[in-house]
Chain A
Amino acid sequence: MPHTMQKRPPHRQRPPLAQQAALALTLALGLLQSATAQSLALVSSEKDNAISVIRLSDLQILPAIPTCKRPRHMQLSHDHQRLLVACSDSAAADVIDLHTLKSVDHIPLSDDPEIFDVSPDGRTFYVSNEDDAALSFIDTASRKVVASVPVGREPEGVRVSADGKTVYVTSEIANSVHVIDTASRKLLKTIAVGQRPRRMALTPDGRELWVTNELGASVSIISTAEQKVIATLLLDLPGARASDITPVGLQISRDGRRAFVSMGRANHVAFIDVASRRITDRVLVGRRAWGLALSQDEKRLYVVNGLSDDLSVVDVPAARALQTLPVGRVPHTVVLY
């Protein structure tokens, strides 16, 4: 089971309109196998209350999807039929039907949600609440906050382990990753990492948790078994000072061999060899490279640029940007569908 930054299925997905019948059939069979590649890139825009839509086949910009206020983190539902959008100023998650590209539901979340993850059984949302310094557990059936675990100030990244037993939360102000037991809803451990930790990714084997440190210009690598930092990877870029390297977005390939880290104000994405923990390539993208997503075939990397309001399309084998597309104002997250 891959556990990458944008949780994606280990299978292909279909375009929204083409295969309704096939969809019904695969659903009936309980399978989600298809030969079709992802067809859309969806980008949340914090200031437009909308999600930009880009058709991947020809990189055409389609009409944006109106959503709730200040959309930030997004991920696909476990059945890949819906897009879940955390809206910080609506204190809710918008639920977008991926076939009609319309909002079909609203799930109330606690105040100022930024990032969430969903339990493997799909029953619980774990939401970081920036202003309350808490991780909320939201029961999707009753739509109620069933637990709230206090964490360090400005919690940000949220990542659930593959077995669903543990949820990890970064605190930007406490410079820590909190380890929370989902059964007892207790904070088990606080692991000190670098300055201003933001996002996390688990290696596919679940042994390592990678954490970007925005002001540390580094990635902390935590052993999930030992619950401690086993390595710190300093990001560098010729000609740039450490203070200009502000990593945020992070994703690990399905085979666990490569990691991709957006370097923020350094305007580059670092390709990292996981085994040697070395940077192999640095690819120039837009201003303040932020969220990123890897295509299903892992040949394309899509990077949103927070200060230039655009999306860079990166050719992974060639390690260079191919094209840049305008998206909404202050783009936050990109999800491929």
Chain B
Amino acid sequence: MAGRRPLLGALLALACCAAQAAAWKLTLIEQADPPAWERQQLERAYLGHSGGSLKTAVALGLDDARFETEARQTTLALQTVAGNSLEAAREQARQAEKSGAQALLVDLPGDWVQAVAASVQLPVLNLGARDDRLRERDCLPRLFHLIASERMRADALAQALASRKWNQVLLLTGNAPDDAERSRIAQAAIQRYGLKLAASKSFKLSTDPRERQLANPLLLTGGLAYDVVWVVDGQAEFARALPFNTASPRPVVGDGGVVALEWQAQYERYGAPQLSRRFLKASGRPMQAPDWAAWVAGRALANAAMTLRQASPQGLREALVGVNVDGSKGVSLQFRAWDRQLRQPLLLSDGQGVVAQAPVEGVLHPRNVLDTLGADEAEKLCKVQP
């Protein structure tokens, strides 16, 4: 009996793998020449902003799974296209679906993501848009989010402030397109974690003496008592110059000072340096937060594809819902069933290293502590369920 077992095992192995051979086609759609890739923007390397095309990161994620995918005779081929408008990106998505792609990965502005996801039946993996509405009122059952939502990032910062008892927050909000909405999200997080809004002010990036009340950090931050400044600045230029320029010697968080990130290349734990090094070798630049989202998308797609015998968009969508992925952040990650957001720890960084991690120690949740970051199930903010 013992002698027969290996043979039987070998036969079973053959049967499994012959049946599982599957060729997957994936299409990455990115914006052609986005403002974030202008030379000066890239050189400034604002924390959390794009460091360039996500093609290399997705390919690395797929390649990291090569030993496993090859063993199951599964291949995943990645094609990249770039669109210069919402309409162009939507057309590219339709073309990709027509030519047999089983999934789309998108690094596009929020409204483009929504338009693309609404125009196809394929699973769409959002790599770059942090807009909460894509996870809430505009959510779709086939739209998966690898990048964290703005609310997750705000919750991460609020947890860190609460754990330090830096309760009095001075909130400064800019006038970039999403700043008002992001400021609202920050205020909700401040309230959720029992912090107090010492004051909320708008700022403007300007050197015009007539606007100095709006533009001068000392005037904006003087004459008030607060523990910490939280700056909401999508452009990040004002926020970058704010730390050490406040009227009171107080730390800065938000889009300057300490920022909540999906990844930071200096992160030292859980095998993170190996991933950062692999990415640097493959791309020639340090791994930024959106690169991690793209890499983990490749890992998640490979893991999901390996469980399937045939390449089909519907099968893939179902497999992604149940997938477990190792994101080199110390815990196994999954998509939340209620909004298809990848639950994940966030790293709080000043750009020189990781100063804290969220969820912070001591924060509790009845099921999964990672669900203290972002919209939870009971809120039912995404009404569209599969």
Chain A interfacial positions (CB closer than 8 Å to B):
130-131, 151-154, 171-176, 190, 192, 195-196, 215-216, 225-226, 228, 241, 243, 246, 265
By beta carbon, the residue of chain B nearest A152 is B67
12 contacts between A and B (CB under 8 A): A153-B64, A171-B67, A172-B271, A174-B65, A174-B66, A175-B326, A176-B68, A195-B324, A196-B271, A215-B324, A225-B6, A243-B368
Question: Do residues A131 and B274 form an inter-chain contact, with CB atoms below 8 A?
Answer: yes
List B residues 68-103 near A (Cβ within 8 Å): 68, 71
Q: A172-B271, A225-B6, A243-B331 are in contact. Are A195 and B326 (CB under 8 A)?
A: yes
Tell me the smallest distance from the CB of A27 to a CB of chain B, in Å.
Answer: 41
Q: Which residues on A sit within 8 Å (CB–CB) of B6?
A: 225-226
> With contacts A131-B274, A225-B6, A226-B6 known, is A192 near B64, CB below 8 A?
no
In the complex, the answer to whether B67 meets A215 with C-beta atoms within 8 Å is: no
Which listed residue (B9, B68, B274, B324) contacts A192, Cβ 8 A?
A: B68
> In the complex, what residues of A have CB within 8 A of residue B274's CB?
130-131, 153-154
Distance in Å: Cβ of B200 to nearest Cβ of chain A: 37
Known: A130-B274, A176-B71, A192-B71. 18 other contacts (CB 8 A): A131-B274, A153-B67, A173-B64, A173-B65, A174-B68, A175-B326, A176-B67, A176-B68, A190-B71, A195-B326, A195-B332, A215-B324, A215-B331, A216-B332, A226-B5, A228-B9, A241-B368, A243-B332
| Given A131-B274, A241-B368: A215 and B65 interface contact (C-beta under 8 Å) | no
Interface assignment of B277: CB less than 8 Å from any CB of chain A: yes
Give every chain B residue within 8 A of A226 (Cβ-Cβ).
5-6, 9
Kindly state the separation between the CA atoms of A190 and B278 in the bound complex, as whole angstroms: 22
Q: Name the residue on A nearest B5 (C-beta).
A: A226
Contacts A225-B6, A226-B5; is A152 near B326 (CB within 8 Å)? no
Contact indicator B277/A173 (Cβ below 8 Å): no
Q: Does B330 contact A (CB under 8 A)?
A: yes
Task: List residues 317-333 of chain B with CB under 8 A from any CB of chain A.
Answer: 324, 326, 330-332
Q: Which residues of B contact A131 (CB under 8 A)?
A: 274, 277-278
Inter-chain CA distance A87–B67, complex, in Å, is 27
Closest to B306 in A: A192
CA distance A192 to B302 in the complex (A): 14
**Taking the nearest CB of chain A, how far is it from the CB of B361, in angstroms?**
11
* Bound: A225/B6 CA distance, A: 8
By a CB distance below 8 angstroms, the chain B residues around A195 are 324, 326, 332
Nearest A residue (CB) for B8: A226
Contact of A246 among B71, B277, B330 (CB under 8 A): B330
Residues of A near B331 (CB, < 8 A) are 215, 243
CA–CA, A196 to B330, complex, Å?
10
Partner of B68, one of A152, A154, A246: A152
Q: Are A175's CB and B64's CB within 8 A?
A: no
The CA of A196 and the CA of B6, in the complex, are separated in Å by: 26
The interface residues of chain B lying within 8 Å CB-to-CB of A225 are 6
Q: Could you say which of A174, A216, A228 contacts B67, with CB atoms under 8 Å apart?
A: A174
B252 to chain A, nearest CB (A): 29
* Shortest CB distance B141–A (Å): 26
Smallest CB-CB separation from A264: which chain B residue? B330
Contact call B277/A190, Cβ cutoff below 8 A: no
Q: Give the distance in Å from the alpha carbon of A184 to the alpha carbon of B110 in the complex.
A: 54
A172 to B327, CA, bound (A): 11
- In the complex, which residues of chain A have a beta carbon less than 8 angstroms from the beta carbon of B326? 172-173, 175, 195-196, 215
| B66 partner residues in chain A, CB cutoff 8 A | 152, 174
Q: CA of A226 to CA of B67 in the docked complex: distance in angstroms? A: 20
Contact partners of B368 in chain A: CB under 8 A: 241, 243
Residues of A within 8 A of B324 (CB): 195, 215
In the complex, A174 Cα to B303 Cα: how many Å? 10
Shortest Cβ distance from A188 into chain B, in angstroms? 13
Cβ-closest chain A residue relative to B370: A243
Q: How far is the CA of A9 from the CA of B359 in the complex (A)?
A: 45
Measured between beta carbons, the chain B residues less than 8 angstroms from A190 are: 67-68, 71
Residues in B whose Cβ lies below 8 Å from that of A196: 271, 326
The chain B residue with its CB closest to the CB of A153 is: B64
Q: Which B residues between 275 and 328 are near A, CB-CB below 8 angstroms?
A: 277-278, 324, 326
Across-interface contacts of A216 in B (CB, < 8 A): 332
**Chain A nearest CB, measured from B283 CB (Å):** 15
Binary contact track B328-372/A, C-beta < 8 Å → 1, others 0: 001110000000000000000000000000000000000010000
Q: How far is the CA of A152 from the CA of B64 in the complex (A)?
A: 7
Closest-by-CB residue of A relative to B327 is A215
A-facing residues in B230-278 (Cβ within 8 Å): 271, 274, 277-278
The smallest C-beta distance from A191 to any residue of chain B, in angstroms, reads 9
B9 surroundings in chain A (CB, below 8 A)? 226, 228
A247 to chain B, nearest CB (A): 13
Per the bound structure, the CA–CA distance linking A172 and B330 in Å amounts to: 12
B63 closest partner in A (C-beta): A153
For A228, the chain B residues whose CB sits under 8 A away are 9
Complex CA distance for A226 and B7, rounded to whole angstroms? 9
